[in-house]
Structure 1
Amino acid sequence: MGLAVSDTNILPYGKILSVDDIGRLVRSHRKSQSATQADFAALCGVGVRFISELENGKTTIELGKALQVLKSLGLEVYIQPRDWKRSGIDVNEAKG
């Protein structure tokens, strides 16, 4: 599992390594609010089946809808280059 639990929050945030990680994050967020999949689907503007498939880590999930769900949850997605020679360097710091 690629997610780390934040010290200030019970939700798992951090590096995403798989579709399963995104699913666990969405499920954790939903359950922390005691919401059903139907409630969450309505909030995010997607179907219940989509929420179920996303939470279960379906690898062929539609990216646009997944981003819509994450945005609805108040989460942002960042892309950074993976550089094994410079691991641990924050891209934003490097731009300095």
Structure 2
Amino acid sequence: MKENLNNISVYVKAKRKQNKLTQPELALKAGVGLRFVRDLEQGKNTLRMDKVNDVLRLFGEELGVVQMNREKLLK
């Protein structure tokens, strides 16, 4: 689970920088708190999905179900 959050955190940070936004600007535009943006970019593993989607929507994305290899999980 942590790996997926890290991927989201890397994505959000890269998109924020690509769009020349500061963390406070991103928080304001997404309607979330600055602390939330910092936690998201640091890969905190307990974040509200609705707030993550608020941030991701700025970049045309949202969280969704991803099919996993069940055999890989059982090893």
Range class of TM-score, shorter chain: 0.7 to 0.9
Question: 1-side partners of 2:15 and 2:42: how far apart?
Answer: 14
Unpaired runs of 5+ in structure 2?
none
Report the number of matched residues. 69
Unpaired runs of 5+ in structure 1?
1-16, 86-96
Question: 2-side partners of 1:80 and 1:56: how far apart?
Answer: 22
Secondary structure at the aligned position of 1:18 is classed as helix
More strand by proportion, 1 or 2? 1
The one-letter amino acid of 2:11's match is L
* Bigger RCO (CA 8 Å, 6+ sep): 2
| Counterpart check, 1:53 vs 2:48 | no
More helix by proportion, 1 or 2? 2
> CA distance change for structure 1 residues 83 and 18 in 2, over 3 Å: closer, same or farther?
closer
Alignment of 1:1-96 (within 5 A): 17-83=3-69
Based on CA coordinates, which of the two structures has the bigger radius of gyration? 1
> Normalising by the residue count of structure 1, what TM-score does the alignment of the two structures yield?
0.63
The alpha carbon displacement at 1:83 in A equals 4.1
Question: 2-side partners of 1:78 and 1:62: how far apart?
Answer: 14
* Identity, % of aligned positions: 32
Give the CA RMSD over aligned residues.
1.6
The one-letter amino acid of 2:54's match is Q
